[in-house]
Amino acid sequence: MATVDRSIKPSFTKSLFLGRVASELVLPYPVMVGAEHEKVARLAASARDYLANVYDPAKAERDGWVGDDTIRDLGELGLLGLFVDEQYGGQGLSQSGYCRVMEEFGRVDGALAVVMGVHQSIGTKPIYLYGTDEQKARWLPDLAAGRKLAAFVLTEPNVGSDAYNLETRAERQSDGSWLLNGEKRWIGNGAGDVLTVFARSELGHVALVVEKGMEGLSTGPRFETLGLRANRLQRVRFDNVRVPAENLLGDAGDGFRIAMNTLNNGRMSMGTSIAGGMKRFLDLTLEHATTRHQFGRPLIDFELVEEKAAWMTGQIYGLESMSYLTTGLVDLGVADFSLESAMTKVVASDVGWKGLNKAFQVHGGTAYMDDHPLSKALRDFRIFPIFEGANDVMRAFVALGGLKALSEDLPDMRSLSIGDPAKAIGVLAPYVSGRINRAIRPGRLVGAHPVFAKHNAAVSEQTVQLRDAAEAALRKHGKKVQEKQLLQKRLTAVASGIYSQVAVIGRASATFERDGLQVSGAEKTVAIHFLKRSQREVARQLRSLEVNDDRHTAQIGTSTRQTGGYAFDL
């Protein structure tokens, strides 16, 4: 069979907006095999053992920090340089391998998972991806060993989701160095040793590595937060910090691209860490529901409790499938995975929050006690739909990225200009209305197991509907499509639903191929249950694109703003 060059293919999700199911990008489902599988299993077991027998999440929360000893221990165990090349002291894992080990931290403590993720996924990652050989040799060994801690320094007091319009400035000096001035906030590991800082300059955005102890660099005080209290969230200030020329990552002008690509990578480990957390929530739910008796029988015997456990099982399976399909795309060399990464982050943080609340409800008042692990998780998890790209922004990013790809594919729209969705959609010029006469043939998932024939057909049909809905949005709203956020939210929900179905079909098909259908009966039930639920939700979102109450929503919103709040007396 001919090898597919995935590096020149568009993203799978952009293909969906074009009305195509690009099965060659996603099937066969990517799985770890051989030496890496064994290595990942050893590292995951090492992490699991340490977290179970040494690390104390409650103590870390009380102390306000996971502990320098923890960072040192994890470095010695080889868990702080999971994707770093072995020549620099790392483990050399693939993206899938890295995210699989990160799942263990998410299972035990959201705060530690964030510290680990900030250090590796976004702190060390820019140096790994964009550093020269000299820069890698200079910083990566200490970062992989845990002798130094990394941070990603982007957010500012007046700049959050609008990351393009940074206020921190870097002025290039005659000797090639940079003079850095500005303030950042909400920086995880902000008091760390190696800070990748993003700023604007007369040459464009730049990414500069600032090291602890540089004159003019100051951090703190730390922010006191609702959750993740064992994560040091800092202010970071730069007062004429002189950064050597050799600390520039990439070229001047590459900074924004480096920041966005780093975040695209970082969001994937959030997906698997949350999957790990949800597995813990399910374990706690089953433990409580089988030992706690009410009305003469265990809680798990009641349908509404059993339904919650079933829901969590199905959603974990779907999230896990989606997350590792996305990491697999990276490992297979797919060049553009930004939309898939964003969708994974949105789905993970939304589903994780819902799963936590279901587990909390089963536990009742027990979970409301401050020392209960679900009480801590409730505080910790609330930030996940907000950071590393707020979910509302990510929904707009996915929809507008898909619409941009579609506008470039339509014959009468090729001259239109939709700007980079990461910088916010640009102006959509006027165009000729009227539908192009064409027959969309999205194709099927080649390689899907026959048991999924009906679901495979549903994926194809919903892909056609997504294409039609996206084109209708372009033709109806023109340049105002960038402002239609409710429409964008629904388009993203449709694309995410289709993508998750594809992931589940691919994963289950791989399992059936390996183990046989009879052996995998339980997995078949979970997969089909998930697919049916997802297909119904996608159908609902597609209907709501045409039949909705947005007009009244806008009227009520406007009225509420004008009156300054609720204005109806009883």
What average pLDDT does this structure show over 515-520? 89
Convert the pLDDT of each residue in 17-30 to its tens digit: 999 999 999 999 99
What average pLDDT does this structure show over 356-362? 98
pTM (predicted TM-score): 0.92
Residue 38: CB atoms within 10 Å? 11
Q: What are the DSSP calls for 69-118, one per residue?
A: HHHHHHHHTT-S-SSS-GGGTS----HHHHHHHHHHHHHH-HHHHHHHHI
State phi, psi for 208 to the nearest 5 degrees: -120, 140
State phi, psi for 234 to the nearest 5 degrees: -120, 160
Residue 28: CB atoms within 10 Å? 14
Measured at the CA of 45, the angle between CA 40 and CA 51, to 5 degrees, comes to 125
Distance CA 80, CA 148 (A): 10
**Which fold is adopted by the domain 30-149?**
Butyryl-Coa Dehydrogenase, subunit A; domain 1 (1.10.540)
Convert the pLDDT of each residue in 290-300 to its tens digit: 999 999 999 99
The burial of 140, by beta-carbon neighbours within 10 Å (0-12 exposed, 13-18 middle, 19 or more buried), is given as: buried
Dihedral angle, C-alpha 7, 441, 477, 344, nearest 10 °: -50
SS3 541: helix
- Say what the pLDDT of residue 434 is: 35
- Say what the pLDDT of residue 478 is: 79
Between the alpha carbon of residue 65 and those of residues 211, 224, 358, 480, 481, the distances in Å are 21, 12, 29, 46, 45
Distance CA 214, CA 245 (A): 14
pLDDT grade for 403, boundaries at 50, 70 and 90 = very high
pLDDT grade for 335, boundaries at 50, 70 and 90 = confident
- Say what the pLDDT of residue 473 is: 94
Distance CA 125, CA 262 (A): 7
Residue 471: CB atoms within 10 Å? 22
**Residues with active-site annotation:** 388
Under a CB-based contact definition with an 8 Å cutoff, are residues 207 and 254 in contact?
Answer: yes
Residue 427 has pLDDT above 50, yes or no: no
Instruction: Report the CATH number of the 152-251 domain.
Output: 2.40.110.10
Shortest CA distance to 282 belongs to which of 46, 107, 416, 418?
107
Within the chain, all domains assigned CATH 1.20.140.10 are found at 257-381, 391-545
Within the chain, all domains assigned CATH 2.40.110.10 are found at 152-251
Q: Share the mean pLDDT of the chain.
A: 92
- Say what the pLDDT of residue 160 is: 77
- Say what the pLDDT of residue 360 is: 98
- Say what the pLDDT of residue 417 is: 54
Q: What are the DSSP calls for 520-535, one per residue?
A: THHHHHHHHHHHHHHH
DSSP element (H, E) containing 217: strand 217-222
pLDDT grade for 419, boundaries at 50, 70 and 90 = low
Convert the pLDDT of each residue in 240-290 to its tens digit: 999 999 999 999 999 999 999 999 888 899 999 999 999 999 999 999 999
- Say what the pLDDT of residue 5 is: 55
Distance CA 377, CA 172 (A): 45
Residue 33 has pLDDT above 70, yes or no: yes
- Say what the pLDDT of residue 414 is: 54
Q: What is the DSSP letter of 227?
A: S
Q: What is the DSSP letter of 250?
A: S
DSSP element (H, E) containing 430: none
Under a CB-based contact definition with an 8 Å cutoff, are residues 13 and 495 in contact?
Answer: yes
- Say what the pLDDT of residue 471 is: 95
Q: Tokens 């249950």 label which residue?
A: 529
Q: Tokens 């050597």 label which residue?
A: 244
More confident residue, 467 or 432: 467
Residue 435 has pLDDT above 60, yes or no: no
The burial of 392, by beta-carbon neighbours within 10 Å (0-12 exposed, 13-18 middle, 19 or more buried), is given as: middle
What average pLDDT does this structure show over 170-191? 96
Longest dimension (CA), the chain: 81
Within the chain, all domains assigned CATH 1.10.540.10 are found at 30-149
Q: What is the DSSP letter of 388?
A: S
Convert the pLDDT of each residue in 457-501 to its tens digit: 999 999 999 999 999 999 898 778 999 999 999 999 999 999 999
**Which fold is adopted by the domain 257-381?**
Butyryl-CoA Dehydrogenase, subunit A; domain 3 (1.20.140)
Q: What are the DSSP calls for 12-29, one per residue?
A: HHHHHHTT---HHHH-SP
Convert the pLDDT of each residue in 538-552 to its tens digit: 999 999 999 999 999
pLDDT grade for 409, boundaries at 50, 70 and 90 = confident
Distance CA 403, CA 470 (A): 6
**In the structure encoding, which two tokens stand for residue 272, read together?**
């698997």
Distance CA 353, CA 39 (A): 31
Distance CA 355, CA 383 (A): 15
Q: Tokens 């898939």 label which residue?
A: 340
- Say what the pLDDT of residue 413 is: 56
What average pLDDT does this structure show over 144-166? 91
pLDDT grade for 8, boundaries at 50, 70 and 90 = low
What average pLDDT does this structure show over 493-510? 98
Residue 7 has pLDDT above 60, yes or no: no
- Say what the pLDDT of residue 461 is: 96
Residue 400 has pLDDT above 50, yes or no: yes
Residue 410 has pLDDT above 70, yes or no: yes
- For 316, residues 6+ apart whose C-beta sits below 8 A from its C-beta are 275, 278, 279, 282, 355
Distance CA 178, CA 247 (A): 9
- Say what the pLDDT of residue 433 is: 34
**In the structure encoding, which two tokens stand for residue 313, read together?**
């099982």
Under a CB-based contact definition with an 8 Å cutoff, are residues 477 and 430 in contact?
Answer: no
Task: Decide the pairing of beta strands 293-294 and 297-298.
Answer: antiparallel
| DSSP-based helix, strand, coil % in the chain, nearest 5 | 60, 10, 30
Shortest CA distance to 210 belongs to which of 192, 221, 197?
197
The burial of 8, by beta-carbon neighbours within 10 Å (0-12 exposed, 13-18 middle, 19 or more buried), is given as: exposed
**Which fold is adopted by the domain 391-545?**
Butyryl-CoA Dehydrogenase, subunit A; domain 3 (1.20.140)
What average pLDDT does this structure show over 436-462? 85
